[in-house]
Structure 1
Amino acid sequence: MDSPISIRLGARARQRIEREGLQAADIAIIPAAAGGPKGLILNGIDQWMFGEWLKQAPRQRRLIGASIGAWRMAAGAFHDPVAAHKRLAHHYAHQTYPDKVDAAYVSRVIRGLLDSVLDGRGEEMLANPDYLLSVITVRGIGPLANTGGSRWREMAGFLRAAAGNAVSRSRLAGAMERVVFHDSRDDAAWLRTSFDAFASHYVDLSEENLHSALLASGSIPLVLQAVSDIHGAPPGDYWDGGLIDYHLHLPYQRDEGLVLYPHFTDHIVPGWLDKSMPWRRARDSALENVILVSPSPSFVARLPNRKLPDRTDFKHYGQDHAARIRDWTYAIVESERMADALAQWAEKPDLHATQSF
C-alpha cells in the first residue's frame, strides 16, 4: 500500500540521518506554513510530534509559524499540546459564516476561535522551558501604510504590491515589512542577519500582545480587518504573515540542528503571491538541514473531493456547513495515518523512500 506521506531531505539532513539515524534530540527548529484549512491535514502529526516524540528528548526548540502555522505552533507549546491541537482543529473546522459577510464579522469569528484555543492560558506558551515560539506577521508600508480601515485603500495598496511582486519579489519589500514576535528568551539571532530584501523587526512576545500577534498573523487582506498598533510593536497595520513568508523560506542552514517541517505540500513557496510562479520555489542551501514531510498524492486522492481542505470549500459548500464540517473532520481523522507513517519512518529511516530538494 502506498505511504500516506512523502519525505524530502536536504543534503546535510540526508547525510546526518544516513550516518546517525534520526533522534528527537536532533530537531532544533519546527516551521509551520500559512495556508488556512490546509493546515488541518497536519493535525495528526502535530499531536504525535508534540504529544509523544519530542517529549522523549526535552530541549529548547524554536517553533516558528505564520497564520494557521503560528496557531499550530502556539498549540504545540501548551502543557497539554494534544488537547490544544484538538481544540484548534475542532474550532477551526467548525467555523460558520452567513451567506453575506464582511471583514469585521470574520475578524470577530477568528478572534473568538483564538480565544477558544488559548483558553485563557497563553502564559503557558510563554513560559514553556522547551519551546520558543515565533509568530510572523506583515506590517504595511508605502502604499499599505495607514489605510485607515478603508477597504478601497487596502485593495489599491495590495493591487500595487501584487503588481510589484510580479516583476520581482524584492519589489514587494516596498509595500510590507516582516515583523517577528518572538519569545523574549530567544534573541532570534539566526534570523537577524539579513537574508532577503525585506526589512524586519523583532518584538518580544508577551501576554499583552500574544493574542493580537496571532490574530494579525492570520488576518488575510480584505477577508479580515488589519490589526493595528500591537503592544510593543512599531505602529501601523498588520496582516497575514504568509504574504511574505507563505511557506517560511528562512535561513534554516544557520542552525547546526535539523529542521522537521510538517507541510501540506512537497515544495516551499516563499510568499503567498508567488503561488502561481513555480520558478520561485525554494531550492537553495537554506534547506540543507530540512526534513520536509507532506501528504502523498495517493493519500490526498482518498480525501473528500480528492484534495486537502482549503478556503474554496467555504464557497463550494456554501451554507451546507454540516457537509463541510463532516468532510474536514474526516480529513483530520485521516491525518492520523500520516502520523503513524512518520513515527515508523523516524524509528527506522528508509532513505530510499525519500526524495531530495
Structure 2
Amino acid sequence: MSIEPFTIAVPQSAVDDLTDRLAKTRWPDETPGAGWSRGVPLEFLRELTTYWASSYDWRAAEARLNEFAQFTTEIDGQRIHFLHVRSDRPDALPLVLTHGYPSSFAEFSTLIGHLRQDFHVVAPSLPGFGFSTPVREPGWAMGRTARAWAELMRRLGYDRYGVHGGDIGAGVSGAVAGIDGEHVVGVHVVTDPLTAANTATFLPGMADRLDPADPADKPALDRMAAFQREGSGYLAIQNSRPQTIGYLLNDSPAGQLGWIVEKFEEWTDLPYDRDQLLTIVSLYWFTGSGVSAARYLYEQAHSSDWGAPSAVPQGFSVFGADTTVRKLLAPPAGTHWVEHDRGGHFPAMEAPQVLASDLRTFFEQVK
C-alpha cells in the first residue's frame, strides 16, 4: 500500500558505459540505394548515434524529468513507477495518461506542461517499461494493467478521474473504464489512419467494416496490406520471440535506438523533438527494459483479457484524419469525435498544444 517518492539518478558509470558502447558499435553494411525500404538507413542511424554519444545531454534530460514529482508503489506484486503532477487548482480533474509502444512516460513531458493548470496528472510507466521493472511474473497485459491503474487511483485518493492514451495506452484506458466505470468520468484516446488500419489487421471484425469496392476505403485497405507485407515484422517477433530480440536490445544501444526510431520515422507526420526521442530511448537503455517491454506485447498477443465493455463517455482525437478511421472504429452514437489534418501516432510529441486543447474540451463536457 505504501507510495514512495522516486528520483531518477542514473549512475555515471552507466552513462560512461553507454558512450563507450556507442563508440564501439559494429556497423553492418547495407544494400546500395535501399533507403528506408529495408529498415533504418545506415547513415541516418550513424548520425543519430553520434549525436546521442557526443551532443545529447542525459543529465539535462534527467533533471527536467525530475522536475515532475515521481513515485513508486507495488500493486499486485509489481513495482509501478508514475508521475503525479498536481494542479494548482484544488478542484482540477485527475487524469491518467498511459503511453504505448515504443514509448514511455517521457512522451508526455511537454504535454503535461499544457495540462497541469486544468488536471492533476498521473502518468504511470507500463509494467516492464522504464522504472516499472523488473517484471516478476507473466500475465501483465492490458486487463491486468487496467486493474492496477484503478488501484493506483484509489490509493491516491481520487474518487473521480479521466483516462487517456494511445496505442497500448488506448486499450488500457478503455479497460480501466470497463473495470472502474463507477469512478471514471470519461475515456479519451488518440489514433491516426495508419494505427487504425494496422489495428484492423489483427482485431477481429474491424476489417469487415471496409468495402473493397468502395474507392473511399482503398487507402485503409492499402495501409493494411502494406503493414502485413512490410510493416509488421517488429510485432511478429515481439509477439512470438521477445526474449530472442531482447539480447540485441539489452546489449547494443545502437540496436535499441534503431528498433525504436524506425517506428518514430514511420509513424509520425509532424516533426518531433530529437532530444525527447533520445530521452525515451535512454530510459529503455538505462533501465534494461527493452526485453520486458517486448514481452508486454507477447503477453497481450497471448491474452484474452482485454477488459469489459463500458458505458463511460468516449472521446477520440484523430490526427492526420481521413474517412476510413471513423468507419474502422465505428464509434457509438454520441461519441465525442475531433479530427485534425496533420499528426500521427505520437501527438503528445508532435502536437502537444492541440492534444491538450482536445483533452480540456472533452473532459469539460463530461466531468
Q: Same fold (TM over 0.5)?
A: no
The higher relative CO (CA closer than 8 Å, separation ≥ 6) is in 1
TM-score (normalizing by structure 1): 0.30
